[in-house]
Amino acid sequence: MLQPARSRYKAFTRRAALLGGMQGLLMSVLAGRLYYLQVIRADDYRTMADDNRISMRLLPPKRGRILDRQAVELANNQQNFRILFVPEHAKGGIAETLDALSRLVEIDEYDRRRIEREIRRNRKFMPVTVLENLAWEEFSRVNVHLPDLPGIQPDVGESRSYPLGGAFAHLVGYVGVVSEKELTGEPLLELPGFRIGKSGVERARESVLRGTAGNSQIEVNALGRVIKQLNRIDGDPGEDVVLTIDAELQMMVMDRLGEESGSVVVMDVHTGDIISMVSTPGFDPNSFNLGIDHNEWKELLGDPRKPLINKPLRGQYPPGSTFKMIVALAALEAGVITEDFQTFCTGKVKLGNHTFHCWKKQGHGLQNLVSAIEHSCDVYFYEIARKTGINRIAAMAERFGLGEPTGIGVGGERSGLVPTKEWKLATIGEPWQGGETLNVGIGQGHLLTTPLQLAMMTAQLANGGKRVRPRLMYSPATEETADAESGDQPAADIEENKSLGLSEHALSLVLEGMRRVTNSTTGTAFRARIKDPTKAMAGKSGTAQVRRISKYERDTRVLKNKERLWKERDHALFVAFAPVEAPRYAIAVVVEHGGGGSSVAAPIARDVLTATQNRDPARTPPTGTVAVRRKEKEEG
């Protein structure tokens, strides 16, 4: 009887020991796991816990200003009074809150649909922008009624502002909300409502103006709702960009052009500084920042005067007779004529079966180089163009920088076109014809230039034949990135103040012809002269046809420009420099479908050059430059 009991006791003891061992093993594994989690992986899990508790949020930097040469603000930042809405706080319902708000400030149907769409897309505790850029009276009215507006949060931020409006719209440009195509993976660009440069200097200097983002540490709960701010590090504001432009002169030029569709470029002949660059008609860049109205946008697109086009850089026009100085220099440098070469102008010349006409139907009579420029005799330039040949004319034009971007560093610049025999064969697939050379000889045919190129050409004539390229910005920190950001390619092989290799005698003949254009009683633009001899200008008019005049019209009567439809009128051009005795400023004026260069464009050039010389901005040291402000910041 004792033996079985002893056996059962031994079996129980073994089972208990086995069970205890298994329990000990499990406790060891659990202890090891706890040690691994709480000791070895403690830092990792602490970080994960903090990530659930602390949210890092980007802070948009303050955008740099754009200034003129005297530190006048062309683009700045102003307070943006806006209204936000947190849907979860709307106790009476979203629709009721918006209805109550609309009785205080106007909320149109478009904004209402946008707000409702954003509310559906976001979490209920996330704020939605209702209205921006409110007037102080509207903002204060909302603040007074806040107890009756559950969920409404007044907020003060910053918005881009262009205090001088349309006069700088094309030059300075504007900012707008980041599009999907512009997203580069940079988190800052993904912030709701963040704006970047869309055109002009705003776009060309985007990386410099933007600055670097800051961040704030926000304590949030499990749902992401903000509890409190733990830490804040402000980013670096964007740098200011200083332009060579004189704001007061720019405004004057804008007023002088008035309702015309055209452009004016004023340039320092020695430094290349752009003193004024105006394109008309303009538009209000603030509209794009605030969100342009559909009807306003449609009106801008449908305007035949093309207000959205930056005409000094993107407008391409036949230069007309303003190109005759280039033809004259090409003929003189090639040795096919001398200053004594003369042609008798009867008003027309024949080449094969085609007749080429002079603008003066009865002709100019006997002409030499200087008088042909003074009187703008087409027949004389037909003859010397034929003798010189298209490729030698093209080579001279290219020496002055025509046919390629100037490298000014603002996006969208067009290159113009200087045709050659090879170009036509490669592009059109046809051989060059002799009559085409005659057309180029008076600035017509395939030849195209921009107003900026014409100003640069005139500056190089006026400064004694030295290479100079237009400069728009003083800021040294931005020059390295300008071309890459703007999308432009700089003009090749630019070496400032290097001689163009022109004969001094040849250049003097051309300049004398330009002087007579405005200062001789028989000059084509004598009526538009500057009467003060210390400020006198020398120039050249141009009238570029936009349609061919038929034989029937010539046999009967050619309609005057004012008798034609606006789109069929000639372009009016004028280039000039002043003062004649010591050139400092060059100007190019183009009035689209304006009519005659001498009657329309020359008076504008006269008034602008007079105002420029009276202000004389090139002789006043620019203020507010990046270097000066950096020094002030270091000392302060």
Answer whether residue 289 is part of any domain.
Answer: yes
Residue 348 has pLDDT above 60, yes or no: yes
Model confidence at 575: pLDDT above 60? yes
Angle formed by the axes of helices 324-334 and 451-462, nearest 10°: 50
Q: Is 123 part of a structural domain of the chain?
A: no
Q: What gap in Å lies between CA 121 and CA 118, rounded to an integer?
A: 5
109-121 and 94-102 helices cross at what angle (nearest 10)? 150
Quick check: 262 and 150 in contact, CB under 8 A? no
DSSP H or E segment with residue 381? helix 378-388
Within a domain: residue 292? Answer: yes
Q: What's the mean pLDDT in 568-573?
A: 90
Q: 511: which 2 tokens?
A: 């300049």
- List residues bridging with 229 in a β-sheet: 218
Residues sharing a CB contact under 8 Å with residue 496, sequence separation 6 or more, in sequence order: 272, 467, 468, 469
H or E element that contains 630: helix 626-635
Lowest-confidence region among 78-92, 299-313, 318-332, 398-412: 78-92
Distance CA 161, CA 514 (A): 43
H/E stretch holding 233 reads strand 226-233
Q: What is the CA 189 to chain-centroid distance, rounded?
A: 21
Q: How many CA atoms lie within 13 A of 201 on its CB side?
A: 28
Cis ω for the linkage preceding 579 (within 30 of 0):
yes
Read off the pLDDT of residues 150-198 as tens digits, 9 standing for 90 and up. 888 787 777 899 999 889 999 999 998 787 788 787 878 877 667 899 9
User: Does 470 or 182 have the greater pLDDT score?
Assistant: 470
Residues 80/161, Cβ–Cβ less than 8 Å: no
In a domain, 348, yes or no: yes
Residue 44 domain flag: no
Is residue 482 very low, low, confident or very high in pLDDT (cuts 50, 70, 90)? very low
Is residue 497 in a domain?
yes
Q: What are phi and psi of 593, to 5 degrees?
A: 50, 35
pLDDT tens string 592-613: 999 899 999 999 999 999 999 9
> Do strands 152-161 and 343-345 pair parallel, antiparallel, or not at all (unpaired)?
unpaired
Per-residue pLDDT tens for 200-222?
999 999 989 998 888 777 676 55
Q: What share of the chain has pLDDT > 70, as a percent?
A: 83
Look at the pTM and tell me if it is higher than 0.85.
Answer: no
- 19 is a domain residue: no
Q: What radius of gyration, in Å, describes the C-alpha atoms of the chain? A: 36
| Whole-number Å distance between alpha carbons of 58 and 232 | 10
Q: Vertex 552, ends 550 and 553: CA angle to 5°?
A: 70
Residue 122: its pLDDT value, please? 67
Burial class (CB in 10 A: 0-12, 13-18, 19+), 490: middle
547 Cβ contact list (under 8 Å, min separation 6): 568
The catalytic site residues sit at: 321
- Cα separation, 586 vs 537, whole angstroms: 9
**511-556 pLDDT, tens per residue?**
999 999 999 999 999 999 999 999 999 999 999 887 666 655 565 6
For residue 205 the two structure tokens come to 């200097």
What pLDDT score was predicted for residue 50? 53
Confidence of residue 4 (pLDDT cuts 50, 70, 90): low
Could you give the percent of the chain with pLDDT greater than 90? Answer: 53
Residue 405: pLDDT band (50, 70, 90) is: very high
Report whether 198 contacts 288 (CB < 8 A).
yes
- Please name the helix (run of DSSP H) or strand (run of DSSP E) that holds residue 32, with its range, or none: helix 2-35
Specify the residue for token string 């903000």. 226
The answer to whether 251 touches 570, Cβ cutoff 8 Å, is no
**Most confident residue range from 6-15, 22-31, 38-47, 575-584:** 575-584
Tell me: pLDDT of 236 over 70. Answer: yes
**pLDDT at residue 111, rounded to an integer:** 81
Give, in degrees to the nearest 5, the angle at Cα 410 between 609 and 63.
Answer: 105
Its domain, for residue 525, covers 247-619
Per-residue model confidence (pLDDT) at position 631: 46
Please say if the pLDDT value at position 40 is more than 90: no
pLDDT confidence of residue 99:
85
pLDDT, residue 272, reads 95
pLDDT at 492 over 50: no
- Contact, 600 vs 576, CB < 8 A? no
pLDDT, residue 220, reads 62
**CATH number for position 501:** 3.40.710.10
Average pLDDT over residues 300-326: 95
Interval 268-297 mean pLDDT: 89
Report whether 219 contacts 156 (CB < 8 A). Answer: no
DSSP H helical segments within 389-467, as ranges? 390-399, 421-427, 434-441, 451-462
Q: Which residue has the tokens 């009624």?
A: 145
Residue 612 lies in a domain: yes
The b-or-e profile of 233-269 (16+ CB within 10 A means b, else e) is eebebbbbbbbbbbbebbbbbbebbeebbbbbbbbbb
d(CA 519, CA 583): 15
pLDDT digits (tens, 9 = 90+) for 100-130: 888 888 888 878 888 888 787 666 766 777 8
Alpha carbon distances (Å) from 355 to 350, 379, 432 = 4, 11, 18
CA distance 339 to 324: 15
Assess contact for 221 and 238: CB atoms under 8 A: no
DSSP notation for 39-86: IITHHHHHHHHHHHHEEEEEEPPPPPPEE-TT--EEEEEEEEEEEEE-
Q: How many domains does the chain have?
A: 1
Per-residue pLDDT band for 487 (boundaries 50, 70, 90) equals: very low
Total Cβ atoms within 10 A of residue 99 = 13
Instruction: Tell me what pLDDT residue 28 has.
Output: 78
pLDDT score, position 286: 87
Mean pLDDT, to the nearest integer, of 461-470? 96
The number of helix segments (H) and strand segments (E) in the chain equals: 24, 19
- CB neighbours of residue 155 within 10 Å: 13
The pLDDT, as a whole number, for residue 47 is 54
**Buried (b) or exposed (e) across 594-612, using 16+ Cβ within 10 A?**
bbbbbbbbbbbbbebbbbb
Tell me the residue ranges of DSSP E strands in 477-579: 538-544, 571-578
Question: pLDDT averaged over the chain?
Answer: 85
